[in-house]
Chain A
């Protein structure tokens, strides 16, 4: 019997459900490999406590990361953190990462908990990021994590897939963030609702794992269920650095001739830096249409762009320069690993000398943990959301851009095109 050519997501769901011949629209129970909960962990625990007689079937599949609001700002949060610590110990949950670890997604990947072909469910919508290592990552509510602890399964609908082919060469000053903002603007905030996205094309193959994370992370902002980049040598090198001895034959790849709902070709050679304007991520403009907008604050961080190379790019522009008078530049390394690397090689000093305020690793201002704005203030952020009130006042504005655009704008005090700026 010859099988119908299948997409990545069809293969991953078939493998995790033990079923074959699935087509988009089918709903099946799958057994996820990892259940990640972040700041929502206490909600999962409180829900678990309500279930009389419940037991955690696979503590080794549970991962908890104390991000979003870390360290605790109030005694209420401190009590939640304490609850999680105690619960992890009592239940034998070894993959518990405390307030010093960083953003859940980066922490899981750095610690080898994300592997090609696996299914990872997380209480964070940006769990699509795990596709950067060829895994199926998707966001769910906290009750679903609790249910997975107890039952070991979760229902999934097989989604149709969209293939995005990236080709061409980015101009200096233009980055993967700009590609994704452009795609989100074109496809819109619901352009991929309930769909899987496969990134393909020559450019995708050239991208680093960190850049692939930015791609897959932002796919969520089009409503995608998951995103995927085919694993290659870079993936397997990343995994072995994370201490994972992964048998390459266990990775999953889409078949030649698989069916896609839509194929989108994106040629990036002429792309300008892009900016997402408030209050929706798909409200995207080219930098030339928005340059000159005054800003009060710049935030460099988040699971989209708080990685090591993001900070290196920002430091390249900030070296020997000063942040504009009256502008606050907040930089939040995505994880402890990232913090250590920038501390070790002097990048951190460059950022501090330029006038940046470095915060502890984590979600920081993207999750409203510091960096709040007053009415009428404006932040340029490298994060993935610009919704009203995410950073303080409901009457403040958030613009989204790349770390390069963020850095040069912090120096100028207005939104500025990094193309042609010295670094």
Chain B
């Protein structure tokens, strides 16, 4: 998010409402925390066809309550490992929202954009400007709260804590 490149996105893949974190990354694979390894199993319950499409997908577009269920952080990191840059949804479950911020995955709430997009459409998000472009239309979304920007600027929670430790040590 802090990188000079604020524009993220590409080809979209749509899913429905209440996609839970057991569907995003089944519990049996939580023996890893390597995002690339985890990505091989992302959305496995949705079938091989879906997983094949996921390989060329940059944007997951979801309905309501994306990421509900288990608090597993790998639900966010497996998407990063699979090359997903943005998740756009009508709404997100609470823990997924936190996990996305903490792992550096960009997520955007935009019910209008979700309705407008089809599988394979291109969608781009400008996090700095708070805008989302798809199908020749621009949608705006509220930015992340100011008080969380320090985590986002660092690229996630752990990089932020690492910076903080360094600052303490150099005092």
Binding site for B on A (CB under 8 A): 27-28, 39-40, 43, 46-47, 50-54, 76-77, 80, 122-125, 127, 139-144, 146-147, 150-151, 155, 157, 189-190, 193-194, 223, 225, 280, 282, 367-368, 385, 387-390, 394
Contacts and interface: CB of A to CB of B under 8 A. Distances in A.
Contacts of A139: 71, 95
A388 B27 contact: no
B164 interface: yes
A144 B22 contact: no
Contacts of B68: 189-190, 223
What 9 A-B pairs are tightest by C-beta distance, nearest first? Answer: A141-B73, A139-B71, A190-B65, A387-B22, A125-B71, A141-B99, A394-B45, A27-B147, A194-B94
Nearest to A159: B94
A225 B102 contact: no
A295 B26 CA distance: 23
A388 B22 contact: yes
Contacts of B65: 189-190, 193, 223
Given A368-B28, A385-B22, A389-B45, A123 B71 contact: yes
A140 B71 contact: yes
B33 A43 contact: yes
15 contacts: A47-B33, A51-B161, A53-B166, A54-B161, A125-B70, A140-B95, A140-B98, A141-B95, A141-B103, A147-B158, A150-B165, A190-B93, A193-B94, A225-B94, A390-B27
B114 interface: no
Interface in B94-150: 94-95, 97-99, 102-103, 145, 147-148
A77 B31 CA distance: 8
Contact of B157 (A28, A147, A387): A147
A144 to B, nearest CB: 6
B91 A143 contact: no
Contacts of A280: 18, 20
A151 B64 CA distance: 33
B71 A387 contact: no
B81 interface: no
Given A54-B161, A141-B102, 7 more contacts: A50-B158, A51-B165, A52-B162, A124-B70, A124-B71, A147-B158, A389-B44
Nearest to A189: B18
Interface of B: 18, 20, 22-23, 26-28, 30-31, 33, 44-45, 64-65, 68-73, 76, 91, 93-95, 97-99, 102-103, 145, 147-148, 151, 156-158, 161-162, 164-166, 169
B73 A190 contact: no
Contacts of B76: 141
A51 B159 CA distance: 9
Contacts of B165: 51-54, 150
Given A54-B165, A125-B95, A142-B73, A190 B18 contact: yes
Contacts of B94: 193-194, 223, 225
B139 to A, nearest CB: 21
B29 to A, nearest CB: 11
A51 B71 contact: no
Contacts of B69: 125, 385, 387
B93 A193 contact: yes
Nearest to B70: A125
Contacts of A80: 31
Contact of B71 (A52, A54, A141, A368): A141
Nearest to B150: A155
A34 B148 CA distance: 23
A385 B65 CA distance: 16
A368 B95 contact: no
A186 B147 CA distance: 35
